[in-house]
Amino acid sequence: MSKKNRSGIVYSTNPDFDYQSDDQSEAETVAPAQQSLKIWLEKLGGNKVVTSIRGFIGTDADLADLGKQLKTACGAGGSTKDNEILIQGDHRDKVLAWLTGKGYKAKKAGG
């Protein structure tokens, strides 16, 4: 464990001391029927458009796996970060059809 993550403990003379971290473990992945995903369309700098999927509850590995499957289904690039899946281009209809076909509760959001 990095020393930067230890808050308050500098040194202990107790040989049996075990530092307890305050880090919260990742949330377990919720079943697809219980996920409530929102599909947004965002415009980035210039003329770039990105489809954003928010509201995923689960581990980072499962988020990355879902993002990879969505990118493959849309035939586009993208990324996953900050509990959000970004897909290059306007693919809201494809993403909505794919997610509902897999049993997720999803809907379009935004204007």
Instruction: Say which CATH number the domain at 53 has.
Output: 3.30.780.10
Mean pLDDT by 10 residues, the chain (111 residues): 58 76 67 91 90 93 94 94 92 95 92 63
- Contact between residue 67 and residue 98 where contact means Cβ atoms under 8 Å apart: no
- Which domain range does residue 49 map to? 29-104
Question: End-to-end alpha-carbon separation of the chain, Å?
Answer: 45
In a domain, 6, yes or no: no
- Contact between residue 41 and residue 110 where contact means Cβ atoms under 8 Å apart: yes
In a domain, 48, yes or no: yes
In a domain, 24, yes or no: no
In this prediction, residue 48 carries a pLDDT of 92
Measured CA to CA, the distance from residue 53 to residue 84 in angstroms comes to 6
Q: Report which of 55, 61, 91, 90 is spatially closest to residue 73, judged by C-alpha positions.
A: 91
In this prediction, residue 18 carries a pLDDT of 74
In a domain, 36, yes or no: yes
Q: What angle is formed at CA 19 by the lines to CA 16 and CA 21, rounded to 5 degrees? A: 155
In a domain, 67, yes or no: yes
- Tokens 């954003």 belong to 52
In a domain, 86, yes or no: yes
CA–CA distance from 59 to each of 76, 87, 94, 110 (Å)? 23, 19, 24, 26
Q: How many domains are there within the chain?
A: 1
Q: Please tell me whether the overall predicted TM-score, pTM, comes out greater than 0.95 for this model.
A: no
